Amino acid sequence: MNKPLIERREAPAFSVGVVLEQTFRIIAAGKGAQLKVPIWSLRELVLRGQLDTAAPLDRHKTVIHESDSGCHVLWTGYALKFFRDGGESYWHTLIGDQQELFVVCQDDENDVFTPILVTADYDEAMAYQEADDTIFSTPMPEKIYHVLERFVLENYAPVGKKRRKRQEWHSKENDETFVRKPTAQ
């Protein structure tokens, strides 16, 4: 019996937290009135360790700093998972100039700005951006980089570009390029 060259393991997953920062921009609203518009940014991605896939994820919001100028909010209970069908996108992320993770955020039904997804899949993040969701990127932690690199090496083989074969659109016997022969009717 032949042994496989590479041992197939379960796709790795990490438990992560997201720290979002809210600041305000003051906008003049006419007649001396001002509007305080919230501006959100990604402050930090917190790697909490390997994810126990058997345990349910419980999302939780904690305000860790608050002042008149804004606040920092820690969101926990997020999973960074790798999927075999994301191999090409992960590969491009690894060989690119910047290795990044992406945090997708939305306003929920109560107008609370909430992270909904943490991913290493650029294509998936851009699909959310096309749907007008907010995408933040952050440098990929070294530990995740090494795990993702091994996952891609075990599960993905880049496919080289294929050159199309030229079709012959005229025969060599009839090399009268611009002459049209009458057809029988």
- CA 62, CA 67: separation in Å to the nearest integer? 15
Residue type, 56: P
Angle between helices 142-155 and 87-95 (to 10 degrees): 130
pTM, two decimal places: 0.75
Q: Taking a C-beta distance cutoff of 8 angstroms, is the pair 46, 91 a contact?
A: no
Predicted confidence at residue 155, as pLDDT, reads 85
Residue 77 Ramachandran class (φ > 0 left, ψ -120 to 50 alpha, else beta): left
Give residue-wise pLDDT tens across range 22-46: 998 888 877 878 888 889 999 999 9
Record the tokens describing residue 37, joined without a space: 């518009």
- CA 123, CA 12: separation in Å to the nearest integer? 19
Instruction: Kindly tell me the sign of the dihedral angle through the C-alpha atoms of 124, 125, 130, 133.
Output: positive
Predicted confidence at residue 1, as pLDDT, reads 47
Q: Taking a C-beta distance cutoff of 8 angstroms, is the pair 124, 130 a contact?
A: no
Q: Taking a C-beta distance cutoff of 8 angstroms, is the pair 15, 79 a contact?
A: yes
Q: What is the mean pLDDT of the chain?
A: 84
Q: 50: pLDDT confidence band, cut at 50, 70 and 90?
A: confident
Tokens 């058997």 — which residue?
Answer: 54
Give residue-wise pLDDT tens across range 78-135: 999 998 888 899 998 898 889 999 999 998 887 789 999 999 999 999 999 999 999 9
Of 12, 43, 22, the C-alpha closest to 113 is 22
Give residue-wise pLDDT tens across range 51-92: 766 667 788 999 999 988 889 999 999 999 998 888 899 998
Domain ranges of the chain: 13-155
Residue 176 pLDDT greater than 50, yes or no = yes
